[in-house]
Structure 1
Amino acid sequence: MDIGKTHHHVAAVDGDGRLVYSRRVANDETALLAVMAEVSTHGRPACWAVDVTTGLSALLLTLLWRRQVQVRYVSGTVAFHMAAAFAGENKTDARDAVVIAQTIRMRPDIPVLEPTDRLLAELTVLTGYRADLVGQRVATLFRLQELLTGISPALERAVDLNRKGPMMVLACWQTPAAIRHAGVDRITALLRRGHVKNAIQVAEAMVAAARQQTVTLPGQRAAAVVVGQMATEILALEQRIAAVDDLIAEQLDQHQLAPIIGSLPGMGALLTAELLVHTAGMTEYDSPAKLAAHAGLAPVSRDSGTVSGNHRQPRRFHRRLRHILWIYATASVYAEIAHRLGWLELDRALSAAELEQLSTDVGKWVTQDRALPEVIETFGPPSLWIGGTNPFCPKTLAYTTAEPGHDLTCFHLWNDFADTPAGAGLQGVHPEPVVLAVRHRPGMFPDSFSFTPEGLHRRPTADQRSVAFRSTVWIFHGDRARYASGVFDTLEAALAWAAEHQVTGTLAEYANGGAYDITVSEGRFTPSKAHHGTADHVAAFGPGLRHFHLTDGCQD
């Protein structure tokens, strides 16, 4: 079925691909039931298929699932490419419906849609609504910044408009003259009623910026009216977003997987809800590898003829799902960046002497296997706890001072769910998370860790570590040139040289060593054919790393 807002188009084909039914039907329960009955007269359908899974098809899908009919999802991208396999260039609802029907006849790999439970359906609505509200807030904020710059550039520079305090002030006073007239005391009183932190500092900054400008700019009066309305609208949007967040948290409390996912570092209520929504409650994947492939985290092969072992980033993947997993993976790195920028609110701040003593003692302390309770008993509560309280999941404990310039000493702990017989309940590999490594030394990232015996046991082998730490060079090979004409330590240096000389050719990354041997040792290529590893195969083997095509010194 080709899905529409008010009407759908139904097309049915038999096993030989002959069209046996085609009709336009209203998106109405009575009409849809009538069409299902008519289609059944041509024989019980093997399955139905739709090209939309949002609210437009909700009524149809519910009726089909109640009749225990198999429903498959033919995405718009698949339908578009499949349409090229049929004669003609017409684009009509009837033809689209036939293409969808022919697609599920010829392709048994098309995914099956399963009924969505109540919790996931409600989370889908709430997360989508929240995304709309955030989009409205961002668009309004950008327009407000533009208008405020037209009133007073100094005022726009002086405050962070992503904060509640400046927005409350702009909702009341928008021009430099009005802010000067209001004064520090009135603005401070307003901010304190709104429970704004650092109310005095915000008020003083805005008044000081207002005193820098005494002239009135063209269009200021109208712009001030619009800025006041926009500031009020943004404050209301923030309240609505907060209310939706509360509803999402309430729904998550009822989902059985929410405590497990939420215990992962960086996975708050919103990311947990979005992950459940975009993965259908984690039911669409048979293995972690399929989840990684759907999120675009697994490389895809690009081999041809005797050239093998080439991998590139995928182009078709679930972008929102990859964004969620990327935020989760980089949460602990954000912690150190946030601390250096002064954004991090610590649960406990150590003195400089305490941090130095901890970094000195921990090297000997990790020579034995340690568990989470021993970390707390020896070094006290952490400055920052990354990861939930679930004892079966990994977490990171960080210790530091209130001084942003000081490094974090991070204890990386690991645990996982153990394989247990059915009905035995959840158990961990260890009773409590165990310490694998502590990052406490300055210098290069790989050299800053001390490992426990358990960490050394689980540490990747040298060949596996070489994927991340093996040094590489960049080699330029000009078009129609017989030999390479440039070797560079960094990509930046290579691109600068290419731009300077306006050369045309290929810039490729190579690891130190033989491309075939390195790729096999890192597990990126597995010999599986008779010619793999022969002299000709090794001589023609590509590095499978990054490469760029340059034209006149610029990337294509």
Structure 2
Amino acid sequence: MAVKAGIDVAKEFHWVAIVAAETGKVLLSRRVDNDPDSIDALIAQLRQAEAEHGELTAAIDLMGGVASLLTAMLLEAGVRLVHVPGLVVNRARRASKGGEAKSDPRDAATIADQLRLRDDWRIVTAEDDITLDLRMLVSRRRELVIDQTRRLNRLRETLAGFFPGLERVVDVTNLSDLRLLVRFVTPEEVREAGRDGLIDHMLAAGVRRSYAEPLAGKAIAAAQAQHVIVPGQKRMAEFAREFATDAIAARHRIGELENQIADGLDRHPDAALVRSLPGMGATLTAEFLAEAGNLDRFASADQLASAAGLAPVLQQSGKMNYLRRATAGSKHLKFIFYQSAFCAIRTDPLSKAFYQRKRAEGKRHHQALIALARRRINVLYALLRTRQPYQADYRHTTATAA
């Protein structure tokens, strides 16, 4: 005999349901607070159930975040733990008696029932410190980049609202331009400072003279063309200076994170192999290693492609039989392979030739890039399996040696 434990994960407390694998009889269903003492008590009950009824497998519907403490303690206790995705739980619950009615006990029981039906769920393992650190760094960098994009868009919009001439001549993605906007954002401020004042300010902030002088000239010309004070200009100018100051701070923090990511890649055993593939820079390599996690869970390149949503999906019913594009899979993994393929067609002759061949076959730009991304998964998987870096002339070298 065997027992299955389904754990519905939540922030304040979890709900666990332990059922007999053969009969589906519920042996235990109770609340477990999300604290060490309560989880220790749960582990004791799991061990007791295993001793009385046979081998135990537990499943959670969420990984990371609020499930981190629970996951760490279960793995440390030696509990066999698997992941049943929340979407699967949702669909299975809706298809069972009760339909759309939802409760924590019902979700926990549904998770346990899924364990009874299938034995091929993804096994949860303890991650190494390097990969975990990379995941946190990459996640934080992604958040800051998204916030920075939104901040710069707000800066453009605010500038265009009261001083459109200046908004047209500055590049808010450039650090030197941001140095100017920290202090001078209204036509009056620019005219009062004069060309020399603007240049002196930027030079003191570390801007090169060759860049500061043309920028100052453009700013003066824009200020001379506008003498109207827009209603609300004072407050909008305050916000513009604030956006510029925050954008500079964010750039510095993103730079620090990228240095930490580089250090993490130097310590990761697979980083050099992944980076050897054209188009996989430091950031994309770190994002891939962080998102993919333990690469041993992918038994083939096809499985990795499926996880990234880049493997065609069979649609067959009666006489109908065709392949369609996948809609599932990790969007982050798909973006990583798509972006690296886009970079590769500009730097790698073989990738460019493959892309052009697909275009010649009638595929659109997006379709050709998807095809290239899928092909590059095979190459990347081979690099990781053979532990050999990418060689553009691999086939030629092999043929010559033979």
TM-score (norm 1): 0.60
Q: 1: distance between equivalents of 2:97 and 2:389?
A: 58
1:66 alignment partner, one of 61, 67, 76: 76
Match of 2:366 in 1: none
Q: Cα offset for 1:104?
A: 1.5
For 1:350-361, list aligned pairs within 5 A. none
Paired residue type of 2:8 = D
Match of 2:331 in 1: 319
Deviations 1:28-57 (Å, cap 9, x if unpaired)?
Answer: 111101111123323355211111111311
2:241 alignment partner, one of 210, 214, 228: 228
Match of 1:504 in 2: none
Q: 2: distance between equivalents of 1:223 and 1:262?
A: 44
Paired residue type of 2:14 = H
Q: Cα offset for 1:234?
A: 1.0
8 Å contact from structure 2 (residues 276, 389) kept in 1: no
The yes-or-no answer on 1:171 pairing with 2:182 is yes
Q: 2: distance between equivalents of 1:428 and 1:94?
A: 50
Match of 1:80 in 2: 90
Paired residue type of 2:35 = D
Match of 1:210 in 2: 223
The yes-or-no answer on 1:113 pairing with 2:72 is no
Deviations 1:263-304 (Å, cap 9, x if unpaired)?
Answer: 221212211111011111422211111111211222112232
* Paired residue secondary structure (1:237): helix
Match of 2:66 in 1: 56
For 1:249-328, list aligned pairs within 5 A. 249-308=262-321, 310-328=322-340
Q: 1: distance between equivalents of 2:324 and 2:138?
A: 32
For 1:366-381, list aligned pairs within 5 A. none
8 Å contact from structure 2 (residues 341, 351) kept in 1: no
Q: 1: distance between equivalents of 2:176 and 2:124?
A: 47
Deviations 1:448-504 (Å, cap 9, x if unpaired)?
Answer: xxxxxx49x9xxxxxxxxxxxxxxxxxxxxxxxxxxxxxxxxxxxxxxxxxxxxxxx
Q: Cα offset for 1:127?
A: 1.0
* Paired residue secondary structure (1:315): coil
More helix by share: 2
Q: 2: distance between equivalents of 1:259 and 1:230?
A: 38
Q: Cα offset for 1:212?
A: 2.2
Q: 2: distance between equivalents of 1:183 and 1:266?
A: 45
Q: Cα offset for 1:138?
A: 1.7
Q: Cα offset for 1:98?
A: 1.2
Q: Cα offset for 1:201?
A: 2.2
Paired residue type of 1:313 = R
8 Å contact from structure 1 (residues 264, 395) kept in 2: no
Paired residue type of 2:166 = L
* Paired residue secondary structure (1:253): helix
* Paired residue secondary structure (2:56): coil
* Paired residue secondary structure (2:88): helix
Q: 1: distance between equivalents of 2:78 and 2:27?
A: 22
8 Å contact from structure 1 (residues 49, 71) kept in 2: yes
Q: Cα offset for 1:112?
A: 1.0
* Paired residue secondary structure (1:283): helix
* Paired residue secondary structure (1:49): strand
The yes-or-no answer on 1:103 pairing with 2:110 is no
Match of 1:11 in 2: 17
Match of 2:376 in 1: none
For 1:498-513, list aligned pairs within 5 A. none
2:57 alignment partner, one of 44, 47, 62: 47
Q: 2: distance between equivalents of 1:163 and 1:113?
A: 43
TM-score (norm 2): 0.82
Match of 1:131 in 2: 142
Paired residue type of 2:102 = K
Paired residue type of 1:61 = T
Deviations 1:147-176 (Å, cap 9, x if unpaired)?
Answer: 111111222122221111221111111112
8 Å contact from structure 1 (residues 275, 324) kept in 2: yes
8 Å contact from structure 1 (residues 165, 202) kept in 2: no
Q: 1: distance between equivalents of 2:77 and 2:154?
A: 50
Q: 2: distance between equivalents of 1:222 and 1:91?
A: 49
Match of 1:471 in 2: none
Q: 1: distance between equivalents of 2:157 and 2:324?
A: 40
Q: Cα offset for 1:195?
A: 3.7
Deviations 1:477-535 (Å, cap 9, x if unpaired)?
Answer: xxxxxxxxxxxxxxxxxxxxxxxxxxxxxxxxxxxxxxxxxxxxxxxxxxxxxxxxxxx
8 Å contact from structure 1 (residues 10, 24) kept in 2: yes
* Paired residue secondary structure (1:46): strand
1:33 alignment partner, one of 40, 45, 50: 40
8 Å contact from structure 1 (residues 21, 39) kept in 2: no
8 Å contact from structure 1 (residues 159, 202) kept in 2: yes
* Paired residue secondary structure (1:302): strand
8 Å contact from structure 2 (residues 46, 56) kept in 1: no
Paired residue type of 1:274 = E
Q: 2: distance between equivalents of 1:427 and 1:330?
A: 23
8 Å contact from structure 1 (residues 175, 224) kept in 2: yes
Match of 2:169 in 1: 158
Q: Which has the larger radius of gyration?
A: 1
* Paired residue secondary structure (1:43): helix
* Paired residue secondary structure (1:5): coil
Match of 2:102 in 1: 91
8 Å contact from structure 2 (residues 32, 38) kept in 1: yes
Paired residue type of 1:55 = G
RMSD value, Cα: 2.8
Q: 2: distance between equivalents of 1:51 and 1:287?
A: 25
- Matched residues, number: 358
Query: Higher relative contact order by CA 8 Å / sep ≥ 6: 1 or 2?
Result: 2
Q: 1: distance between equivalents of 2:335 and 2:232?
A: 41
